[in-house]
Amino acid sequence: GPLPRSRKRKAQTLRDEDWEPVKRRVIELHITQNIPLPEVKIRVEEEFKSSGFTATIRQYRSRLSQWGLDKKVKPHEMKAIVKKRQRRRLVETDKGELVFKLRGNLVEPHKIDRWMRKNGIMQNTAYSPS
């Protein structure tokens, strides 16, 4: 029969106290300096080598979410952004372009445009999500 698939070993469970020593550094590198997570992982694990800290990229991501610092714009958030931006562009034409920040991060206009294209929302129509 087919050979049994060898699974990746389960990553070690990390508790709050395991993250505490590296938390500030992770935030500094990833949020403040905008360094990609794979690079953050390399740096943090090098800098904290003596403590033997190690985590998967997925663990970094979920921990950043727990800290309320994830960079992903959720669908309900993007809907609200698009609705507001369209109202400003189409109705409040006397006012300037809006800048959107989410959890301290700029939501880049090209990302909003891309989301609109992906979801079939026209630039020149008011958006009212269902």
**Cβ distance 55 to 11 under 8 Å?**
yes
Q: Where are the alpha helices (DSSP H) in 11-130?
A: 16-26, 37-47, 57-66, 75-90, 109-118
Give DSSP secondary structure letters for 63-93: HHHHTT---PPPHHHHHHHHHHHHHHHHT-T
User: Residue 10: pLDDT band by 50, 70, 90 thresholds?
Assistant: confident
The whole-number pLDDT of residue 31 equals 87
Nearest C-alpha neighbor of 23 from the set 71, 59, 76 = 59
**Cβ distance 40 to 26 under 8 Å?**
yes
| Average pLDDT for 84-97 | 90
The Cα-based distances of 88 to 11, 82, 91, 127 in angstroms read: 47, 10, 6, 11
**Angstrom distance (rounded) from CA 109 to CA 123:** 12
The whole-number pLDDT of residue 123 equals 86
The whole-number pLDDT of residue 119 equals 94
